[in-house]
C-alpha cells in the first residue's frame, strides 16, 4: 500500500525524509495550505503531486513545468475532456492524472465512467465544506459498489486512529484496487505544519498492517517465467507423476488449493496465526560486522526467530488450515531429521488434530531429541523398517498410508517437492518471507529490491519463499547454496544441481542424484536438512534456465562460516543456513550491493554437531 502525504507547506523536507510515495502540494489560493515556496530535493522514489481546483490549463502546465510535478490531482469540476487534454499535452514525459470524487453517504459510481479513459487514478475524498482537508472520513463501505478496476487513492480524514479500520478495510475485496492512502489534516500541528513522529508511526503501521492482514499468498503475474503454470510445471520440471491410486487425493487438493487460499477467512486466520503464534513479521537485521568484513551491505532475514526455530512452520500452519477447510480429520507427514515432523506435530497440537509421523528407523535413533519433541506434542512416530530405513523409506510409508486413507487424511509435505500442487502451494505459504523483505527493505533502504537474495537449498522451501516475489525481477540476483558434503567428487554429497540428472522423485520431475541405471543415490551432508537427493522443480528450473546462480559448499566450509557468524553477530545459525554464509569466500560483491541472506533456522538443534566438530 502506498502512502501520500498532502498539504505540504512549512516542513516538506522533514516529511520527505520519511520517504512517502507521494507528496502533495496544493496550488489553490483559498486553501490554508496553499503552497508557493521552493520544493526541496526529494528522495528518488517520492513523486510530487500538484493539487488544483478548477485552475485554467495554462496555470497547471506552468506549475508542472516549474516544479517538475509527476502527477496532478484535480479537485474541482474538471471534465473528462479537460483531463484528457492535459494528459495528451504530456504525452512525451507522462504526467499522471488523479481525478477526485467527493463522497458523502452515497455515491453514484456511474459518474466515473466518462473518466475511465482520461485519468490514471481516482481519489475518493469526504465531501465537506472545502475540497479536502476536512478531517473526517466517509463510510468506506460505499466502495463495495466500486465497479471499476482503476486504482484509487483513499482519502478524507484518515489519522492514526483509523489504523484498525484500515486493517479491516484492506482485507476486503473492494480494497483490491486501493493504490494508496492519502493523509493530511489529521497529522498536523496547524494547517500545513506536519507532525513528523505521528506520520512516521502511521507509515510503519500501514506497512505492517497491509502485510499482516492480506498476505498475498503468492500473488504473481500471469505470464511469469519462473512460477508454476496451472499444471504445476516450472519450465520442463514439476508435474504430478503419481500412482493411479493417489490421483483422487492430489486431485482434490489441486482443484481447491488456490480457491481456499484466496478466501478472506483463510487469509485472515493464516495471517493471525503467523502474527500471534509464529511471531511474524520476523526482523530483517543489518549485519554490520559481517558487512564490514565482506564489503557489502548484508541483511539477515531472521526466520530463525519463528516459533519452533525455523521457517518450516510457515508451511505447516498453512497446510493445517488447508486440511481443516477440506474437512480432514487426520494428518500424516514424513520426516528425515525430524524438523518437519516437529513443525507438523506442533500445528496438530495447536488444532487438536490426530498426527502420525513416519520416520526411518535409523533416523529415529539418530534424532532422538526431535523424536521426543514430537511425542511430547502428542504425535505418533511410526518407524519405517524397510530399505535403508531413512527419509525415502519414510516417504514410501506415508504415501502408502495416504492411499489407504484418502478421505479423512491430509499429507503435509515439508518442502517445495512432491507432486503438483505441493511445490506451488508450499512456495505460496513461504512467500510471506519475500513479501516482508520487500517492505522491510523499503523502510531501511528506500527500495524493495536487493541486489541479491541468498538461501540454502535442501528441498528448497526457505529459498522459494525468499525468492518468490523477486523471481521475475531481473535486477535481483538469485543465489542458491547446496551442500557439497565432503566435496562434490567425494561420492558423499547432496549437490543436486552439480551432480543431478533429470528424473522423477516423490511424484515430481526434477533434478536428482542417481546412478547410471536411475537408482536414487543416498545423499550426504553434515546438515540433516540439506541431506536430500533432489531439489524442488522450481529450483531445477532456476538452475537450468540460468536465472539462479548455484554454489556448492562443503561441510568444512559451512561449519567455519557458522562459527564466524556466531562470533561476528551473536547469532548461532542452523548448519543448513551456515552453508549460505559460506558464499562470501567464493563470491565477490560490490561495496554498495545489498545482499539479503535468508537465515532459515537457529543452531540450537545442531549444538552437538558443532561441539563435536570444533571440540568446544
Ligand atoms: C529443513 C531446513 C532447511 C532445508 O529445507 P528447505 O525446504 O530447503 O528450506 C533449511 N534450513 C533449515 C533451518 C531447516 O530446518
> pLDDT tens across 51-62, in order?
999 999 999 999
How far apart (Å, rounded) are the C-alpha atoms in residues 550 and 56? 59
Q: Is 339 in the pocket of ligand 1 (CB under 6 A)?
A: yes
The b/e string for 449-459 (b: 16+ C-beta within 10 A; e otherwise) is bbbbbbbbbbb
Across the range 189-198, mean pLDDT stands at: 95
* Among 200-209, 412-421, 577-586, the least confident range: 200-209
The residue ranges of every structural domain in the chain are 2-208, 233-278+309-424, 284-307+432-614
> What percent of the chain is helix, strand and coil (3-state, nearest 5)?
45, 20, 35
In the residue annotation, 312 being an active-site residue is answered as yes
Cis peptide upstream of residue 322 (ω within 30 degrees of 0): no
pLDDT classification of 211: cutoffs 50, 70, 90: very low
The 10s digit of each residue's pLDDT in 140-188 is 999 988 988 899 999 999 999 998 889 888 877 788 889 999 999 999 9
**What fold characterizes domain 284-307+432-614?**
Rossmann fold (3.40.50)
Q: Is 457 in the pocket of ligand 1 (CB under 6 A)?
A: yes
Inform me whether the pLDDT recorded for 243 exceeds 70: yes
φ/ψ (deg, to 5) at 91: -60, -30
* Among 212-226, 307-321, 436-450, 493-507, the least confident range: 212-226
Q: What is the pLDDT of residue 133?
A: 67
Structure-model confidence comparison of residues 175 and 487, the more confident one: 487
Q: What is the pLDDT of residue 204?
A: 85
Across the range 279-291, mean pLDDT stands at: 97
In the residue annotation, 118 being an active-site residue is answered as no
Cell numbers linked to 404: 489407504
Q: Is 526 in the pocket of ligand 1 (CB under 6 A)?
A: no
Residue 28 Cα to ligand 1 middle (Å):
58
Q: Is 310 in the pocket of ligand 1 (CB under 6 A)?
A: yes
Across the range 278-286, mean pLDDT stands at: 97
* Among 24-38, 216-230, 251-265, the least confident range: 216-230
In the residue annotation, 78 being an active-site residue is answered as no
Is 350 within 8 Å of 277 (Cβ atoms)? yes
The preferred substitution site among 415, 434, 578, 579 for testing ligand 1, maximizing ligand atoms within 8 Å of CB, is 415
Site of grid cell 522450481: 538
Which ligand 1 atom lies nearest to the CA of residue 458? 8
Percent of the chain with pLDDT over 90: 81
Q: Is 597 in the pocket of ligand 1 (CB under 6 A)?
A: no
Do 2-208 and 284-307+432-614 show the same overall fold? no
Q: What is the pLDDT of residue 212?
A: 46
Q: What is the pLDDT of residue 216?
A: 64
Across the range 294-311, mean pLDDT stands at: 98
Structure-model confidence comparison of residues 434 and 134, the more confident one: 434
The preferred substitution site among 417, 461, 536, 578 for testing ligand 1, maximizing ligand atoms within 8 Å of CB, is 461
Q: What is the pLDDT of residue 590?
A: 97
The 10s digit of each residue's pLDDT in 503-521 is 999 999 999 999 989 888 8
The preferred substitution site among 301, 303, 305, 311 for testing ligand 1, maximizing ligand atoms within 8 Å of CB, is 311
The 10s digit of each residue's pLDDT in 550-583 is 999 999 999 999 999 999 999 999 999 999 999 9
φ/ψ (deg, to 5) at 581: -70, -20
User: For the chain, what is the mean pLDDT?
Assistant: 93
pLDDT classification of 209: cutoffs 50, 70, 90: low
Q: What is the pLDDT of residue 210?
A: 56
Cβ neighbourhood burial of 196 (10 Å; 0-12, 13-18, 19+): middle
Q: What is the pLDDT of residue 129?
A: 78
Whose alpha carbon is nearest atom 5 of ligand 1? 458
How far apart (Å, rounded) are the C-alpha atoms in residues 292 and 412? 41
Task: With 0.75 as the threshold, say if the pTM is over it.
Answer: no
The 10s digit of each residue's pLDDT in 86-99 is 988 887 778 999 99
Q: What is the pLDDT of residue 213?
A: 42
Inform me whether the pLDDT recorded for 215 exceeds 90: no
Across the range 11-30, mean pLDDT stands at: 95
Q: What is the pLDDT of residue 172?
A: 75
Which ligand 1 atom lies nearest to the CA of residue 339? 15
Across the range 385-402, mean pLDDT stands at: 91
Supply the CATH classification number for the domain 2-208. 3.20.20.70
Q: Which of 78, 188, 334, 435 is catalytic?
A: 334
Residue 455 Cα to ligand 1 middle (Å):
9
Q: Which one of 251-265, 489-503, 540-554 scores highest in mean pLDDT?
A: 540-554
Inform me whether the pLDDT recorded for 283 exceeds 80: yes
Supply the CATH classification number for the domain 233-278+309-424. 3.40.50.1100
Contacts of 432 (CB under 8 A, 6+ apart): 211, 215, 274, 280, 314, 465
The 10s digit of each residue's pLDDT in 96-141 is 999 999 998 889 999 999 999 999 999 999 998 777 767 889 999 9
DSSP SS3 for 496 = helix
Amino acid at each position: 500500500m502506498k502512502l501520500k502525504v498532502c498539504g505540504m507547506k512549512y516542513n516538506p523536507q522533514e516529511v520527505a525524509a520519511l520517504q512517502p510515495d507521494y507528496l502533495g502540494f496544493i496550488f489553490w489560493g483559498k486553501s490554508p495550505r496553499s503552497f508557493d515556496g521552493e520544493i526541496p530535493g526529494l528522495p528518488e522514489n517520492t513523486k510530487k503531486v500538484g493539487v488544483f481546483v478548477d485552475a485554467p490549463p495554462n496555470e497547471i502546465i506552468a506549475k508542472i513545468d516549474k516544479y517538475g510535478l509527476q502527477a496532478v490531482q484535480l479537485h474541482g469540476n474538471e471534465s473528462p475532456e479537460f483531463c484528457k487534454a492535459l494528459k495528451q499535452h504530456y504525452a512525451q514525459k507522462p504526467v499522471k492524472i488523479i481525478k477526485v470524487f467527493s463522497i458523502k453517504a452515497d455515491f453514484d459510481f456511474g459518474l466515473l465512467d466518462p473518466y475511465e479513459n482520461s485519468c490514471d487514478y481516482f481519489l475518493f475524498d469526504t465531501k465537506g465544506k472545502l475540497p479536502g482537508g476536512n478531517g473526517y472520513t466517509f463510510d468506506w463501505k460505499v466502495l463495495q459498489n466500486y465497479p471499476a478496476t482503476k486504482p484509487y487513492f483513499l482519502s478524507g480524514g484518515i489519522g492514526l486512529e483509523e489504523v484498525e479500520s484500515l486493517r479491516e478495510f484492506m482485507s476486503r475485496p473492494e480494497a483490491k484496487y486501493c493504490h494508496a492512502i492519502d493523509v493530511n489534516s489529521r497529522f498536523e500541528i496547524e494547517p500545513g505544519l506536519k507532525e513528523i513522529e505521528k506520520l512516521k508511526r502511521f507509515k510503519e503501521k500501514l506497512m505492517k498492517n497491509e502485510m499482516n492482514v492480506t498476505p498475498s499468498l503468492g500473488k504473481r503475474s500471469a505470464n511469469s517465467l519462473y512460477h508454476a503454470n496451472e499444471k504445476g510445471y516450472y519450465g520442463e520440471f514439476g508435474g504430478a507423476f503419481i500412482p493411479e491410486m493417489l490421483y483422487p487425493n492430489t486431485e482434490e487438493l489441486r482443484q481447491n488449493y488456490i480457491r481456499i487460499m484466496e478466501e478472506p477467512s483463510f487469509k485472515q486466520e493464516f495471517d493471525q496465526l503467523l502474527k500471534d503464534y509464529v511471531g511474524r513479521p520476523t526482523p530483517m537485521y543489518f549485519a554490520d560486522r559481517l558487512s564490514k568484513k565482506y564489503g557489502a551491505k548484508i541483511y539477515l532475514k531472521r526466520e530463525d526467530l519463528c516459533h519452533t526455530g525455523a521457517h518450516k512452520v510457515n508451511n505447516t500452519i498453512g497446510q493445517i488450515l488447508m486440511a481443516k477447510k477440506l474437512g480432514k480429520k487426520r494428518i500424516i507427514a514424513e520426516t528425515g531429521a525430524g524438523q518437519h515432523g516437529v513443525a507438523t506435530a506442533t500445528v496438530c497440537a495447536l488444532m487438536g488434530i490426530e498426527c502420525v509421523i513416519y520416520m526411518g528407523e535409523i533416523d529415529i535413533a539418530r534424532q532422538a531429541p526431535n523424536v521426543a519433541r514430537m511425542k511430547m506434542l502428542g504425535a505418533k512416530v511410526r518407524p519405517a523398517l524397510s530399505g535403508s530405513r531413512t527419509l525415502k523409506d519414510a516417504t514410501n510409508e506415508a504415501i502408502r498410508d495416504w492411499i489407504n486413507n484418502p478421505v479423512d487424511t491430509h499429507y503435509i509435505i515439508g518442502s517445495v517437492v512432491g507432486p503438483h500442487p505441493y511445490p506451488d502451494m508450499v512456495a505460496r505459504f513461504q512467500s510471506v518471507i519475500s513479501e516482508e523483505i520487500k517492505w522491510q527493505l523499503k523502510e531501511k533502504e528506500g527500495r524493495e529490491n536487493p541486489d541479491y537474495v541468498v538461501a540454502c537449498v535442501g528441498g528448497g522451501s526457505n529459498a522459494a519463499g525468499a525468492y518468490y516475489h523477486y523471481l521475475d525481477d531481473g535486477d535481483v540476483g538469485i543465489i542458491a547454496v547446496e551442500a557439497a558434503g565432503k566435496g562434490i567428487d567425494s561420492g558423499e554429497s547432496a549437490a543436486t544441481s552439480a551432480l543431478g540428472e533429470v528424473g522423477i522423485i516423490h511424484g515430481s520431475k526434477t533434478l536428482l542424484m542417481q546412478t547410471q541405471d536411475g537408482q536414487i543415490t543416498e545423499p550426504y551432508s553434515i546438515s540433516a536438512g540439506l541431506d536430500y537427493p533432489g531439489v524442488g522443480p522450481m529450483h531445477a528450473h532456476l538452475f537450468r534456465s540460468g536465472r539462479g546462480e548455484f554454489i556448492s559448499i562443503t561441510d568444512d566450509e559451512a561449519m567455519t562460516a557458522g562459527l564466524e557468524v556466531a562470533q561476528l553477530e551473536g547469532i548461532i545459525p542452523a548448519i543448513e543456513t551456515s552453508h549460505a554464509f559460506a558464499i562470501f569466500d567464493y563470491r565477490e560483491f560490490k561495496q554498495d550491493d545489498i545482499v539479503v541472506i535468508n537465515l532459515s533456522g537457529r543452531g540450537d538443534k545442531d549444538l552437538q554437531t558443532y561441539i563435536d566438530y570444533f571440540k568446544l
